[in-house]
């Protein structure tokens, strides 16, 4: 068995972390990316990684793992009742529909108190969510 251990010595701005503790085989802690940062990293790998002029299979496997969890959550909450699996075109439709219904002025107001530079919220709007 081989175990690959990677250390990111230059994490991207905005990455967040969780600290996990274990007692066995000896007590230790480890600092890991949190789930949103892991998902962002996986999307980056799917979109940008080129390995021997092709994508890496594990990137697509991990991406589908995330999507299957999304589908499971949507089924649990009653937001996905279709017999077929949640595929990319349908996910894109759902995202486009959701973004078209968002009141971005209100959404920006909800987070304004937590943002260091409120000018960054000027980019929020229906135009920023549309396809290029």
pLDDT at residue 49, rounded to an integer: 79
Q: Are 9 and 26 in contact (CB under 8 A)?
A: no
Tokens matching residue 39: 């998902």
The tokens for 14 are: 């905005």
Q: Hey, is 38 helix, strand or coil?
A: helix
What tens-digit pLDDT sequence spans the chain (132 residues)?
888 877 888 888 888 889 999 998 899 998 888 888 888 888 888 888 777 777 777 888 888 888 888 888 899 999 999 999 888 889 889 888 888 888 888 888 888 888 888 888 888 775 454 444
Q: Are 71 and 63 in contact (CB under 8 A)?
A: no
Question: Hey, where are the domains in the chain?
Answer: 35-85
Task: Decide if 76 contacts 102 (C-beta within 8 A).
Answer: no
pLDDT at 78: 92
């Amino acid at each position: 068995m081989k175990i690959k251990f990677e250390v990111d010595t230059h994490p991207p701005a905005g990455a967040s972390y969780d600290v996990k503790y274990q007692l066995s085989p000896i007590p230790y802690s480890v600092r890991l990316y949190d789930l949103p940062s892991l998902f962002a990293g996986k999307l980056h790998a799917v979109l940008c990684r080129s390995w021997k002029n092709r994508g890496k299979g594990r990137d697509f496997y991990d991406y589908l793992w995330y999507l299957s969890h999304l589908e499971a959550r949507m089924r649990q909450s009653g937001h996905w009742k279709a017999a077929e699996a949640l595929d990319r075109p349908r996910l894109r439709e759902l995202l486009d529909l959701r973004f078209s219904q968002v009141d971005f002025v209100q959404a920006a107001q909800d987070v304004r108190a937590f943002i260091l530079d409120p000018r960054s919220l000027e980019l929020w709007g229906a135009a920023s969510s549309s396809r290029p």
